[in-house]
């Protein structure tokens, strides 16, 4: 922790001339993109948790409900193919068609009557989850075409805050609608949200980049080009390793947080929603402040600082003082927002227009897969290892994750 960062002038800096949130909102096309993001994310957030609750009601099985989240996570493995789709075709039509198709797929849930049709629920969740990866990959390129580099950081921060804010509100609304009017009401709301997003995107005016495709490149070479580009870029490679290790380690938190809540704090299981809400609000604040932090300190320092904050946040979950755990939840929400927004902005600026989708997809794989793997490992260990030992190990790994960004390779100009 005593290592010093090299002088800022030798680090490729996202911070140079970084704009403000207000400047990003002055651009009409970005306002429309943000509005479409509100609609699509609202529908997505209302559906994913409500579907798990619904499956629990249909079956009475925690395992069956948990498989909903597995169906949501598995499409990350296919994201290199969705990334290629976002780079091969014009992105505006891709996201419009994608939202319309998501609406049609979700409507299939209206046919579910009992637990014998679980296969249909899992299939719909898997297919519609793929649509979110298509949207994310295409959106990276759309932002690159819509905005000058200096406004990418505030734009990413705004979209992140929208995402986190809706993840607090819409699952509660979805659960309430399920209790009052049944699952069909949630399905129809989600379908309407996806169609509204498609309609707003249809009014988006922009000049999209024209990509030169290498006719000699094989399908596999084209699909994996995003991984190769990230691996060959010194700063992106180092930053991605840092994020993969740090966020991967927090997969343990998905399991130990239950023990923190019940064993450490002595709270009822329902209290966990309070901690998650605090974290969600902090993530919104992190998204709104990220561009100012990046503008002041630069991308590399922002990521390093955020990872250290994340390590501290993780370690607080091993304690039994409620106020400290609350502070840890705030640190967790802010730190994850800062590090992800800083990296995404850097990736967008350093990646050619024709590879935005594929580098976005590669990032999803390299961040999500380690997190899922550590969650599974923690679930296997939690019965035989004290949760505080797992938390301590996770905190140490988070701190070690900053080492790639402190290396001389990460400091060289690109």
Q: What angle do CA 402, 2, 339 make, to 5 degrees?
A: 30
Q: Residue 12 above 60 pLDDT?
A: no
Q: Where are the alpha helices (DSSP H) in 206-252?
A: 219-223, 225-232, 234-249
Q: Residue 413 above 50 pLDDT?
A: no
The span from the CA of 213 to the CA of 360, in Å, is 18
Which residues lie below 8 Å from residue 199, measured CB to CB, with a gap of 6+? Answer: none
Q: Residue 327 above 70 pLDDT?
A: yes
Residue 215, in any domain of the structure: no
Total domains present in the chain: 2
User: Model confidence at 4, in pLDDT bands (50, 70, 90)?
Assistant: very low
Residue 7, in any domain of the structure: no
Let me know whether 286 and 173 are in one domain. Answer: no
Let me know whether 233 and 188 are in one domain. Answer: no
Domain's final residue, options 208, 231, 263: 208
User: Model confidence at 120, in pLDDT bands (50, 70, 90)?
Assistant: very high
Let me know whether 394 and 278 are in one domain. Answer: yes
Tokens of 341: 């927004």
More confident residue, 188 or 55: 188
Let me know whether 392 and 348 are in one domain. Answer: yes
Let me know whether 301 and 200 are in one domain. Answer: no
Residue 9, in any domain of the structure: no
Residue 307, in any domain of the structure: yes
pLDDT number for residue 15: 42
- Map residue 371 onto helix, strand or coil: helix
The span from the CA of 293 to the CA of 297, in Å, is 6
pLDDT number for residue 7: 36
Let me know whether 175 and 66 are in one domain. Answer: yes
pLDDT number for residue 2: 32
Let me know whether 196 and 265 are in one domain. Answer: no
Predicted TM-score (pTM) of this structure: 0.80
Domain's final residue, options 208, 242, 276: 208
Let me know whether 184 and 239 are in one domain. Answer: no
Tell me the residue range of the domain where 381 lies: 221-405
The per-residue pLDDT for range 188-219, each reduced to its tens digit, is: 999 999 999 999 999 988 877 766 666 677 87
pLDDT number for residue 62: 61
Let me know whether 390 and 256 are in one domain. Answer: yes
Residue 184, in any domain of the structure: yes
pLDDT number for residue 214: 62
Let me know whether 107 and 62 are in one domain. Answer: yes
Q: Residue 135 above 60 pLDDT?
A: yes
Domain's final residue, options 208, 237, 258: 208
Residue 42, in any domain of the structure: yes
The per-residue pLDDT for range 144-166, each reduced to its tens digit, is: 888 888 899 899 999 988 888 88
Task: Tell me if 91 sits within 8 A of 141, measured CB to CB.
Answer: yes
Mean pLDDT of 331-359: 90
DSSP 68-129: HHHHHHGGGGGHHHHHHHHHHS-HHHHHHHHHHHHHHHHHGGGG--SGGGHHHHHHHHHHHH
CATH number of the domain residue 373 falls in: 1.20.1250.20
Task: Tell me if 15 sits within 8 A of 292, measured CB to CB.
Answer: no
Residue 4, in any domain of the structure: no
Residue 6, in any domain of the structure: no
Mean pLDDT of 50-77: 78
The per-residue pLDDT for range 369-408, each reduced to its tens digit, is: 888 788 778 878 888 888 899 999 999 999 999 999 987 7
């Amino acid at each position: 922790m005593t290592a010093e960062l090299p002088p800022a002038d030798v680090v490729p800096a996202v911070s140079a001339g970084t704009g403000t949130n207000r400047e990003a909102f002055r651009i009409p096309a970005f306002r429309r993109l943000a509005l479409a993001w509100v609609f699509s994310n609202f529908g997505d957030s209302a559906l994913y948790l409500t579907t798990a609750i619904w499956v629990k009601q249909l079956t009475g099985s925690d395992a069956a409900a948990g498989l909903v989240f597995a169906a949501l996570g598995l499409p990350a493995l296919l994201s290199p193919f969705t990334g290629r789709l976002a780079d091969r075709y014009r992105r505006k039509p891709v996201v419009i068609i994608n939202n319309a198709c998501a609406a049609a797929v979700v409507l299939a849930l209206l046919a579910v009557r009992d637990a014998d049709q679980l296969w249909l629920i899992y299939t719909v969740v898997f297919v519609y989850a793929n649509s979110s990866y298509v949207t994310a990959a295409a959106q990276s390129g759309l932002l690159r075409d819509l905005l000058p580099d200096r406004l990418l950081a505030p734009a990413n921060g705004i979209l992140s805050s929208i995402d986190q804010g809706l993840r607090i509100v819409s699952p509660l609304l979805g659960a309430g609608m399920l209790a009052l009017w049944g699952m069909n009401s949630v399905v129809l709301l989600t379908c309407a949200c996806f169609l509204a997003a498609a309609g707003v995107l249809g009014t988006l005016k922009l000049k999209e980049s024209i990509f030169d495709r290498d006719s000699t490149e094989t399908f596999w070479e084209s699909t994996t080009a995003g991984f190769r580009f990230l691996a060959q870029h010194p700063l992106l490679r180092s930053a991605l390793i840092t994020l993969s290790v740090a966020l991967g380690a927090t997969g343990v938190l998905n399991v130990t947080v239950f023990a923190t809540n019940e064993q450490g704090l002595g709270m009822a299981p329902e209290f966990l929603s309070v901690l998650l809400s605090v974290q969600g609000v902090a993530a919104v604040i992190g998204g709104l402040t990220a561009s100012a932090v990046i503008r002041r300190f630069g991308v590399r320092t922002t990521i390093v600082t955020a990872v250290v904050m994340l390590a501290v946040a993780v370690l607080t979950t091993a304690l039994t003082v409620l106020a400290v755990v609350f502070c840890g939840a705030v640190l967790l929400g802010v730190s994850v927002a800062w590090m992800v927004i800083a990296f995404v902005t850097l990736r967008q600026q350093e990646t050619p227009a024709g590879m935005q989708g594929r580098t976005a997809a590669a990032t999803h794989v390299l961040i999500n897969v380690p997190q899922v793997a550590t969650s599974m490992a923690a679930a296997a260990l939690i019965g035989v290892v004290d949760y505080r030992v797992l938390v301590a190990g996770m905190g140490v790994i988070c701190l070690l994750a900053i080492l790639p960004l402190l290396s001389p390779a990460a400091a060289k100009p690109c």
